[in-house]
Structure 1
Amino acid sequence: MSVISPPTKRRRSDYPKGENLCEHCTAKCCHYFALAIDEPVERRDFDFMRWYLLHDRASLFVDDETWYLLVHTTCKHLRDDYMCGIYETRPQICRDYTTAECEFEDDWCYEKYFESPEQIDEYADALFGPQFPEPGRKKEHLLRSRKPSGLPIA
């Protein structure tokens, strides 16, 4: 009985210097965009971030102390062969992008990464204390109402 070993992950060093890594990639860089956003400094800022995360295919990350909104979406000009369908007229941001530090090897590790509104709430609670006060305390400072309870089963 022969054992099939999993495919070896390709590294940059597996290719000759000067090789176009794009020809060996699934165009990871064309499946998202990330926008730098202001660093949150108060509870209200985290509520805006919570709103971002309520949208499909959005996440947040921190890299080198800069906060980013990451939108997981595919460029409409990416061809089935993972090459650019408008290469000659591509936007300047694409022209400036190089494979020098791209995610070819998939080794990204962020300082902070948030995929759900609950995660950003938990992080804000750790920084500022719980969003909802103890029973009997005032709640004028709250940004949103409590999480709704489940519907009764009929």
Structure 2
Amino acid sequence: MSLATRTKPYREDLKPGEVLCEHCTAKCCRYFALPIDTPDEMADFEFIRWYLLHDRASVFVDGESWYLLVHTTCKHLRADNMCGIYDTRPQICRDYTTENCEYEDDWVYDMYFETPEQIWEYAEAIAPRGAGQSIRSRKPPLLPILN
């Protein structure tokens, strides 16, 4: 994006008394992410595949940590991207500060899965297999011999 088309100020360019949230699109209020166990066997990948069968769910890996990401908007986010229950907001929101918020974050993860097919392909590439298991499709039955 060129500087000419940028519509929000950089964090460091805010004037004294100006609030960063007044320029934000409220990314932090449009999803929640929960840590999940790092998958290490095919059964774990089946659970992740099940998550990804649901609308507005994805899974990402940041460093060594895996997360379930649910894309959903807080019920109390106002049209102006401000909090409708600011004085009674949950503690997790109170603890969240603009110091390290996602205002300028590009949302780049080490790995990001949006579909069950993506996670299954990854699982087949890295998950240990039992004896006799293969990544190849089952051998099809032989065709009958015609007389």
Question: Per the shorter chain, which TM-score range?
Answer: 0.7 to 0.9
Dislocated runs of 4+, deviation >3 Å:
16-19, 129-134
Residue type of the partner of 1:135?
A: K
Q: How far off its partner does 1:24 sit?
A: 0.7
CA distance in structure 1 between the partners assigned to 2:104 and 2:63 by the alignment: 19
Q: So what's the TM-score if we normalise by structure 1? A: 0.77
Q: How far off its partner does 1:64 sit?
A: 2.2
- Of stretches 5-14 and 107-116 in structure 1, the one that deviates more from structure 2 is 5-14
Map of 1:7 onto structure 2: 5
Map of 1:60 onto structure 2: 59
Larger Rg over CA atoms: 2
Q: How far off its partner does 1:20 sit?
A: 2.3
1:80 to 1:6, Cα distance in 2 relative to 1, 3 A: same
1:18 to 1:61, Cα distance in 2 relative to 1, 3 A: farther
* Structure 1 residues 21-100: aligned runs within 5 Å: 21-100=20-99
After superposition, the C-alpha distances for 1:42-93 in whole angstroms (9 at most, x for unaligned) are 0110010000000000000011211000000000001111111110000000
Counterpart of 1:135 (choices 135, 139, 143) is 139
CA distance in structure 1 between the partners assigned to 2:55 and 2:65 by the alignment: 22
Q: Name structure 1 gaps, 5 residues minimum.
A: 137-154
Q: How far off its partner does 1:8 sit?
A: 2.0
Q: Name structure 2 gaps, 5 residues minimum.
A: 141-147
Q: State the number of aligned residues.
A: 132
1:74 to 1:64, Cα distance in 2 relative to 1, 3 A: same
Residue type of the partner of 1:44?
A: A
After superposition, the CA RMSD in angstroms is 2.1
CA distance in structure 1 between the partners assigned to 2:137 and 2:47 by the alignment: 20
Q: How far off its partner does 1:103 sit?
A: 1.2
